[in-house]
């Protein structure tokens, strides 16, 4: 059976304690590889490698760093098929999605930050009349930690490590133990691209053990984390007494607000995607649909018809648009929320049942589920399910829609469907979300700030925001005589 290894100091290494975890293929329910169950010893080793690489890497010219990042991007692109197949097998997502979205975006992350670093600038402030000149010196932080989740494995892993190394840091990174394969394969690409050893170290293992060791390491200066809100809370508690810089990208319960004046067919097609893409396991999925009363009946009918037509199958079948959920544990969690919704008196308009896929009977397949609710305070409306489950509730007017949309503890993204410009501006200002999409969804320009408000996180990634996070600003004030 294949053994995934840690990538430390430019080479693949077994875990020091010799312990391994099982890695499952969600489409078949079988164990297909083993991954290191790393401990604080492996993290310490990775840290030492990163520390030793730092002086040289942080003094490497911007042009050279940029060239290496772009080489990594090219190699990811050249290995698109292999990486996409590995991602689909490891995560359960349709191969078509991994090929069209996950892997191209992983490549784009390296290419984008390889270019962005050449344009990154700091500020200067001349204190006119006082004969002083201030400038901001931005230096890499040193050794930083990056921890990523399982839903978009290589996509989110590279979204963190690319800006970190572009800015001149060295990294100890941990992908999710549920989906470690593509981060493992990235190791080979890093060596082939000529990334100096120790600049990016990849340690595999569980959150409470390997992840915690990264966060608790006294000399790892900053942590960039994407994952659940509860985990983020725990990380913040560990890191706060050490005054570490933190970027936390956490959970969401995003509203998708549909007004009667929208472009109906476009809204319908995109709403199917924003509800169920990646089996609904995207932090940005619009899991709470609010539809204006006057079109609610028609919308429910049309939406359910489109959802019922989605093909649920194994990730490698080209017809598949809904693959397997990521794990047995997660499948059970999602199912438990469907039960909670029923107990709360919600109405299942479609789905909610397990699916047996021929030849893949032990895989984790679930029908996409559409649930009608009339109480915004019920658990299915308030808590993150992170699966193929969407709720529908009606509203009477804009004011009510806004109130319902903001009435959760999360604030990651929101989608609005309307052709009214004034309403667009009003809602954009008042929605409590880090990202507002109007008449579109998951439309990303990597230069824009990305992140959430409220319990969806702290800090922003993307563009220069990420490069600012991974650098320490210092004000230098020079007095001069004229």
Catalytic positions:
249, 283
122 SS3 class: coil
Q: How far is the CB of 468 from ligand NAD (least distance, A)?
A: 18
Nearest distance, CB of residue 446 and ligand NAD, angstroms: 14
Tell the smallest beta-carbon distance from residue 40 to ligand NAD (Å): 12
Q: Let me know: does 249 contact 225? Beta carbons within 8 Å.
A: yes
Q: What single string gives the DSSP state of each residue in 270-310?
A: HHHHHHHGGGG--TT---EEEEEHHHHHHHHHHHHHHHHTP
Nearer to ligand NAD, 40 or 420 (CB): 40
Please report how close the Cβ of residue 341 comes to ligand NAD at its closest, in angstroms. 18
Rounded Cα distance, 255 and 381, in Å: 10
List of residues contacting ligand NAD (CB under 6 A): 147-151, 156, 174, 176-177, 206-208, 211-212, 215, 226-228, 231, 234-235, 249-252, 283, 384, 386, 412, 452, 457
Strands 288-292 and 347-350: unpaired
Nearer to ligand NAD, 70 or 446 (CB): 446
Instruction: Pick the closer one to ligand NAD by CB: 88 or 152.
Output: 152
CB 196 within 8 A of CB 52: no
Residues whose CB falls within 8 Å of the CB of residue 136, separated by 6 or more in sequence, listed in order:
122, 123, 124, 473, 474, 475, 476
**Nearest-CA neighbor of 296 among 336, 253, 241, 259?**
259
Q: Residue with structure tokens 């009667």?
A: 260
Residue with tokens 């544990």: 329
- Minimum Å distance from CB 439 to ligand NAD? 22
The residue sitting closest to ligand NAD, measured at its beta carbon, is 207
Neighbour tally for 308: CB within 10 Å: 12
Kindly tell me which of 4 and 70 has the beta carbon lying closer to ligand NAD.
Answer: 4
Closer to ligand NAD by CB, 146 or 267: give it: 146
d(CA 363, CA 354) in angstroms, rounded, equals: 10
Three-class DSSP category at 157 = helix
């Amino acid at each position: 059976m294949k053994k995934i290894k840690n990538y430390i100091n430019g080479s693949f290494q077994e875990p020091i304690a010799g312990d391994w975890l099982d890695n499952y293929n969600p489409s078949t329910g079988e164990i297909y590889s083993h991954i290191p169950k790393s401990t604080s010893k492996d993290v310490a080793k990775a840290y030492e490698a990163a520390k030793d690489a730092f002086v040289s890497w942080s003094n490497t010219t911007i042009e050279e760093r940029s060239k290496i990042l772009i080489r990594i991007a090219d190699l990811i692109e050249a290995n698109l098929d292999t990486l996409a197949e590995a991602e689909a097998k490891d995560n359960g997502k349709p191969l078509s999605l991994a090929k069209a979205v996950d892997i191209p975006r992983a490549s784009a992350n390296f290419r984008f930050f390889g270019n962005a670093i050449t344009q990154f600038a700091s500020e200067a402030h001349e204190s006119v009349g006082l004969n002083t000149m201030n400038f901001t010196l931005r230096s890499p932080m040193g050794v930083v930690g990056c921890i990523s989740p399982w839903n978009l494995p290589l996509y989110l892993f590279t979204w963190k490590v690319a800006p970190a190394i572009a800015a001149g840091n060295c990294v100890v990174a941990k992908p999710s133990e549920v989906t470690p394969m593509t981060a493992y394969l990235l190791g080979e690409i890093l060596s082939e691209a000529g990334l100096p050893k120790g600049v990016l170290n990849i340690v595999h293992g569980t959150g409470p053990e390997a992840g915690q060791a990264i966060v608790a390491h006294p000399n790892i200066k900053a942590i960039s984390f994407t994952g659940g809100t509860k985990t983020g809370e725990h990380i913040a508690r560990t890191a706060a007494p050490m005054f570490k810089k933190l970027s936390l990208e956490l959970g969401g319960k995003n509203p998708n607000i549909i007004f009667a004046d929208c472009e109906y067919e476009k809204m319908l097609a995109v709403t199917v995607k924003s509800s169920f893409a990646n089996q609904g396991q995207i932090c940005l999925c619009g899991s709470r649909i609010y539809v204006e009363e006057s079109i609610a009946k028609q919308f429910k009918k049309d939406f359910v018809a489109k959802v019922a037509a989605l093909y649920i199958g194994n990730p490698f079948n080209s017809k598949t648009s809904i693959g397997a959920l990521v794990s047995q544990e997660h499948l059970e969690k999602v199912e438990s929320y469907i039960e909670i919704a029923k107990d709360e008196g919600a109405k299942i308009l479609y789905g909610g049942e397990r699916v047996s896929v021929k030849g893949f009977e032990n895989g984790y397949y679930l029908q996409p589920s559409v649930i009608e609710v009339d109480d915004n305070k019920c658990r299915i409306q308030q808590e993150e399910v992170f699966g193929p489950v969407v709720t529908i509730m009606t509203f009477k007017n804009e004011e009510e829609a806004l109130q319902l949309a903001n009435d959760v503890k999360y604030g990651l993204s929101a989608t609005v469907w309307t052709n009214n410009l004034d309403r667009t501006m009003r809602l954009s200002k008042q929605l409590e979300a880090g990202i507002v999409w109007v008449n579109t969804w998951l439309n990303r320009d990597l230069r824009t700030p990305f992140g959430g408000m409220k319990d969806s996180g702290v800090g922003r990634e993307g563009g220069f925001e990420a490069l600012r996070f991974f650098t320490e600003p210092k004000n230098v004030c020079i007095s001069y005589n004229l």
